[in-house]
Chain A
Amino acid sequence: MIEMKNLVKKYGGKVVFSNFSLSIQQSSIVGLYGRSGSGKTTLLNLIGGLDLPDSGDILVNHKKLTKSLSELADYRRTYLGIIPQSFALLNFKSAFYNIALPLIGKAGKEEIEKEIEILSEKLEINTLLKDRPTELSAGERQRVAIARAVITKPAVILADEPTSALDETTQSIIKDLFLQEQNRGCTIIFSSHNKTFGEFADKIIQLP
């Protein structure tokens, strides 16, 4: 359960959130909509601990989010699966390594290989695992980023425009994946420009 109470976020003089409150139930799928610049990424960053609010609180399972960078890193590592708008892949590493990154040191080689095999087949990137992100199309890179976020079976997935580079067929693959994740108890918060992608969401938040 994630609660946001009276969030205020400004960049210089520009107010993105003046008094924003939102409560997200566990195992729900929440879609964030709004024009470009309406604050979708900002909100996801606040939840992901990548940015701090000027005032107001974010509570995760009734616990206030820490301000310590190292504790926030631990929170992301153990609790979240993040799909950044820019994908944020390591360009000098193979797609396989990028997907495996969160599991390195946590799981054995065989286990990692098995997980990636299943996931990459589902996302139709199983033939691209040896390639580097620079050799992939935007849509393929986006799916690598999605696989990387999902592979740890996180409690919460934060997906910033996860289908921005995908065609409709592939979008439905992502939709299925999200629903499957929801079934195992995962909370999914995504942003999108595309209203049709959000039809399966439990809750739609329209940012002004």
Chain B
Amino acid sequence: MRECVRNDVQRNQRNFLILIVINTLLFASIYFMSVYEFNFYGFYHASLPNKQKQMMLIDYSGKFTSDQAVPLINTDQQMKKSKLFSMYEMYDQFIEWVHYSGPDKFGDGYEEGHFQGEKSVYQYNGKTYASTSIKSTQLSLNCFSKFSLQTDRGRGFQESDYNLHFGDTVPVLLGHEFTETYKVGDQFKALYLFSLFNFEVVGFLKEDSYIKQNGYGPASYLDRDVILPMFNITDSPKNQDDAFFRTLHYSNKTSCLLEYDSSVTAKEIAEELNRISSSNGLPEYQKYKVTEDGLAQISTNQMYRALSVGKWLVFFVCMGTFILLINRQIKAHLVDYTIYSLFMSYQKISLSLMLEMTACILASTFFTILIILALSKSLMYAGELLLSSGLLIVLLTVYIYFKMQHVDLKKYLVEGEQND
């Protein structure tokens, strides 16, 4: 029988390779399609620690011009009012601390090795400041209870810290390591999103305080961060700079984490968000479902839909070609197997055909996994992929078994129908 398989593989090498390529294409397209489809419809329920709640991360994707400020403010307020989800506003926009004299370790990029030290920074109105980029995180008030953030010196944030006007002093909390150099009541000036603010230290976070940007993802420690309230600033801007600042600030503010009940689907959340953003004339937010494996993009825009149809097309073309080729392969085999079956045992013949198909599917699965690794650097749904390959092998085995049970041997002999 080894002879038999070897011959067929040899002779059908080209067919075999085509089959593997088509099969790989098919597997890969099914894979990527299901990944996107699942995200689109929110079928994928991540097995997260708290299964009652699901998480979605959203990102502003519109223009950064001053006329976007009011739509963004309205969007923020409408999102807050939605009954489908609650917002956790978290952003890690660094600040430009003017005349900073503290240790380097609080500098932005210090741990990553690209801390720049003091440099000249222009404000929009043309003034130049000697400033240093310092790590900073902006948090809404509900983040403090969500991540059990507590202060051990001074006070924590209050509701009133979140409603500011241009020109107000902004209260800040400092991470634990700042206690070595600063104290409650210290004030400093810094540019936050190109706008100059006066800041006052009102408290210090407990040691080892952390948040999780994705809700569940890895912890980011706040010991070296300046914590700003993710404040509201709704009074009319006095100048272009202030108007522009509000666009930047509210785009950060609405790029946030949403928490919603497991009884609601990601699709419903996505639709609600689209409704809000479009009613304010804003483009759709980028949406990522938080899964155990990381973030999975959820997309509902037109281009995505076109892409989705395209993928189905690829899927059907692949599927059709695959079935045709398999059939051709089996038929080509049958001619020779008929000849073999005059002199060889029947089971061995079916077995060798099944073995070949199995080899083909396994090879395709392997290549598909390589493609997935190359394209998405992760192996989400690899288990499902292997499972469906297994299923395909079983189906084909059954198909081949029945095909071999009903093969018309004489047809290939009497009519002299031969391969090649």
CB-contacts of A59-106 with B (<8 A):
69-70, 72-74, 76-77, 82, 84-93, 101-102, 104-105
Instruction: Point out the residues of chain A lying under 8 angstroms from B410, CB to CB.
Output: 41, 45, 50-51
Contact of A88 (CB < 8 Å), options: B338, B345, B346: B338
Question: In whole angstroms, how far apart are the Cα atoms of A148 and B342 in the complex?
Answer: 11
Q: Contact check, B414 vs A101: say whether CB atoms are below 8 A apart.
A: no
Q: Contact check, A70 vs B418: say whether CB atoms are below 8 A apart.
A: no
Instruction: Point out the residues of chain A lying under 8 angstroms from B336, CB to CB.
Output: 90
Min distance, Cβ B342 to any Cβ of chain A, angstroms? 5
Q: Contact check, A88 vs B343: say whether CB atoms are below 8 A apart.
A: no
Q: Contact check, A77 vs B343: say whether CB atoms are below 8 A apart.
A: yes
Q: A69-B404, A70-B346 are in contact. Are A88 and B341 (CB under 8 A)?
A: no
Q: A73-B345, A74-B346 are in contact. Are A85 and B413 (CB under 8 A)?
A: yes
Q: Contact check, B7 vs A88: say whether CB atoms are below 8 A apart.
A: no
Closest B residue to A73 by beta carbon equals: B346
Q: Contact check, B346 vs A90: say whether CB atoms are below 8 A apart.
A: no
Closest A residue to B8 by beta carbon equals: A92
Question: In whole angstroms, how far apart are the Cα atoms of A93 and B415 in the complex?
Answer: 21
Question: In whole angstroms, how far apart are the Cα atoms of A148 and B336 in the complex?
Answer: 15
Instruction: Point out the residues of chain B lying under 8 angstroms from A50, CB to CB.
Output: 409-410, 413
**B41 at interface, CB cutoff 8 A:** no
Instruction: Point out the residues of chain B lying under 8 angstroms from A73, CB to CB.
Output: 341, 344-346, 349
Closest B residue to A104 by beta carbon equals: B3
CB-contacts of A8-37 with B (<8 A):
none
Question: In whole angstroms, how far apart are the Cα atoms of A82 and B410 in the complex?
Answer: 12
Q: Contact check, A86 vs B415: say whether CB atoms are below 8 A apart.
A: yes
Instruction: Point out the residues of chain B lying under 8 angstroms from A134, CB to CB.
Output: 420
**B355 at interface, CB cutoff 8 A:** no
Contact with A along B212-250 (1 / 0, CB 8 A): 000000000000000000000000000000000000000
Q: Contact check, B343 vs A89: say whether CB atoms are below 8 A apart.
A: no
Question: In whole angstroms, how far apart are the Cα atoms of A134 and B407 in the complex?
Answer: 26
Question: In whole angstroms, how far apart are the Cα atoms of A70 and B341 in the complex?
Answer: 9
| Interface residue range, chain A | 20 to 34
Contact of A76 (CB < 8 Å), options: B11, B341, B414, B418: B341
**B405 at interface, CB cutoff 8 A:** yes
Q: Contact check, B345 vs A77: say whether CB atoms are below 8 A apart.
A: yes
Closest A residue to B339 by beta carbon equals: A88
Contact with A along B379-420 (1 / 0, CB 8 A): 000000000000000000000000011010110111111111
Question: In whole angstroms, how far apart are the Cα atoms of A63 and B90 in the complex?
Answer: 86
Closest A residue to B335 by beta carbon equals: A88
**B77 at interface, CB cutoff 8 A:** no
Q: Contact check, B346 vs A82: say whether CB atoms are below 8 A apart.
A: no
**B347 at interface, CB cutoff 8 A:** yes
Min distance, Cβ A124 to any Cβ of chain B, angstroms? 23
Question: In whole angstroms, how far apart are the Cα atoms of A198 and B102 in the complex?
Answer: 114
Which of B344, B347, B419 is the most central at the interface, judged by chain A CB atoms within 10 Å of its CB? B344
Question: In whole angstroms, how far apart are the Cα atoms of A92 and B7 in the complex?
Answer: 8
Question: In whole angstroms, how far apart are the Cα atoms of A102 and B345 in the complex?
Answer: 10
Question: In whole angstroms, how far apart are the Cα atoms of A93 and B340 in the complex?
Answer: 12
Q: Contact check, B347 vs A91: say whether CB atoms are below 8 A apart.
A: no
Question: In whole angstroms, how far apart are the Cα atoms of A112 and B409 in the complex?
Answer: 27
Q: Contact check, B414 vs A41: say whether CB atoms are below 8 A apart.
A: yes
Closest A residue to B409 by beta carbon equals: A50
CB-contacts of B330-361 with A (<8 A):
336, 338-347, 349
Q: A73-B341, A76-B341, A82-B342 are in contact. Are A92 and B413 (CB under 8 A)?
A: no
Contact with A along B13-51 (1 / 0, CB 8 A): 000000000000000000000000000000000000000
Contact of B418 (CB < 8 Å), options: A86, A101, A104, A152: A86
Which 10 pairs show the lowest CB-CB distances between chains A and B?
A86-B416, A73-B346, A70-B346, A102-B343, A84-B413, A50-B410, A92-B11, A50-B409, A45-B410, A88-B339
- A-B contacts besides A74-B346, A90-B7, A105-B1, 7 pairs, CB < 8 Å: A50-B410, A73-B349, A76-B341, A77-B342, A82-B342, A86-B414, A86-B416
Could you list which residues of chain B lie within 8 angstroms of chain A, going by C-beta atoms? 1, 3, 7, 10-11, 336, 338-347, 349, 404-405, 407, 409-410, 412-420
Could you list 11 examples of A-B contacts with CB < 8 Å?
A50-B409, A51-B409, A76-B341, A77-B342, A77-B343, A77-B345, A87-B416, A88-B412, A88-B418, A90-B339, A101-B339
